[in-house]
A and B are shown apart, each in its own frame.
Chain A
Amino acid sequence: MGHFLPYFKKEIKKHLFDYLLLISAGVFFVVALNIFRGERLIDFIILLAFTSFYIIWGIYHHIIDDTLHLKIVLEYVLIGFTLLFLLKMIIFP
């Protein structure tokens, strides 16, 4: 933990706005799911919006961080779409 925590604090401090933005989007996502529970199509749209936001956030964050590369974008896209498809199984059982 000796190496991890200082990195974690430094990273959050350096990109506080970015991470707050991502966490806020996550909170909105969960709240929206709770409000529209039982509305399968709306639930899926909310999930799609959060996944898209996460991918766009990744691109935006790495532009700011000056580390944008196609491989990095692909990483966000692959993780985002994998989880989108998996959760779709629950929304449309």
Chain B
Amino acid sequence: MQKLTGFLRHLFIPHEENNFRAKLLHHDFLTYYLLFAIFFTFILKISWLSNILGFATDITVEKLYQLTNQERQKNGLAPLNYSEELSQAAYKKAQDMFTKNYWSHYAPDGTTPWNFILASGYRYEFAGENLAKNFLFSDGVVSAWMNSPTHRDNILRKEYTDVGFAVVNGILNGEETTLVVQMFGKPLEKTITLNQPKVSQAKEKTSVLLPSPSASKKQIYPQPVVLAKEEKQNKLNLTKFSLDINFIFLTFLLLALGMDLYFAKRLGVVRFTGKNIAHFIFVIFLLISLFYLPRGKVL
């Protein structure tokens, strides 16, 4: 126990043996931190993600779907059914944005979101679209949509009965981007069969849409949503892990700087080092930035 106390004292508290500077803030230790940061930034990422395309975001369709329905239920609305057709439309929309290099509800050539929905075989009475890009977490996406009045209106619109999602990585404006497309709809058929039990609606919708001309096209886009699901297992850990590592390291550095400054002043030591107060201010602002960096944009 005494050995451990002595070791911690050597690491955190300035005294004669560590040249009146916490060992954790010596140049050799600072160099280790830098090497550790480089290791995590490049080597670890390459080794963990060598078989994965795109960015390691922790956005999943399951979570988006779950959170969207949670928001609706909180507001006394019926949960939305997951629609494979709308998910295909969302995937096609995301692919179109990457191909034609735009970030908008409407393509430069005039293609509308409704074109993608109709092309997927979904005949709608009501339809809507929410977009998001470069978020790190699913809850961040849904929370940003809920904070925007127009997106919130879309999520909480009582007319919608179905929803589809796509989470796609690609190059947009020369930059690797993670796009999230959420498409809402109420099928035209449902208005006709309104008296049928709710459970059978999904089945009925499929049976109506399958014979449509777009049925064969569906096979060209083999379950776009699965792309996100497959990536999830490998990417999930790294995203959360990197945020946690940042948070832990910044807090640790604040603690080391604070203790070093406090005990140095208590001992009345005059030292020839960098200003701990300046380091402290720098670290505090980076810590604040951790709350902004995982957030993306919604449209």
Contacts and interface: CB of A to CB of B under 8 A. Distances in A.
Tell me what chain A mostly uses at the interface: helix, strand, loop, or mixed.
Answer: helix
A26 B45 contact: no
Interface residues of A, number: 51
B104 to A, nearest CB: 14
A93 B136 contact: yes
Contacts of A83: 37, 250, 282-283, 286
Given A7-B265, A37-B297, A78-B31, A19 B292 contact: no
B7 interface: no
A92 B176 contact: yes
A22 B278 contact: yes
Interface of A: 3-4, 7-8, 11-12, 19, 22-23, 26-27, 29-30, 33-34, 37-41, 43, 47, 50, 54, 57-58, 61-62, 67, 69, 71-72, 74-76, 78-93
Given A78-B34, A86-B249, A38 B285 contact: no
**The 7 residue pairs across chains A and B that have the minimum distance between CB atoms:** A38-B297, A26-B285, A85-B37, A38-B296, A78-B30, A75-B274, A89-B242
B120 to A, nearest CB: 27
A25 B292 CA distance: 16
Contacts of B36: 82
A30 B135 contact: no
A58 B278 contact: yes
Interface of B: 25, 27, 30-31, 33-34, 36-38, 40-41, 45, 55-57, 133-136, 175-177, 235, 238-239, 242-243, 245-246, 249-250, 253, 261-262, 265-266, 268, 272-275, 277-279, 281-286, 288-290, 292-297
Contacts of B177: 40
A79 B279 contact: yes
Contacts of B265: 3-4, 7
A72 B294 contact: no
A40 B175 contact: yes
B246 A82 contact: no
A75 B242 contact: no
A2 to B, nearest CB: 8
Contacts of B239: 93
Contacts, number: 150
A22 B87 CA distance: 48
A11 B173 CA distance: 47
A86 B295 contact: no
Among A27, A78, A80, A92, the one with the most B-chain Cβ atoms within 10 Å of its Cβ is A78
29 contacts: A3-B268, A26-B285, A30-B289, A37-B134, A37-B295, A38-B135, A43-B293, A50-B285, A62-B274, A71-B27, A72-B272, A74-B27, A75-B273, A78-B30, A79-B30, A79-B282, A82-B34, A83-B282, A85-B34, A86-B41, A86-B246, A87-B286, A89-B40, A89-B245, A90-B243, A91-B293, A93-B55, A93-B56, A93-B57
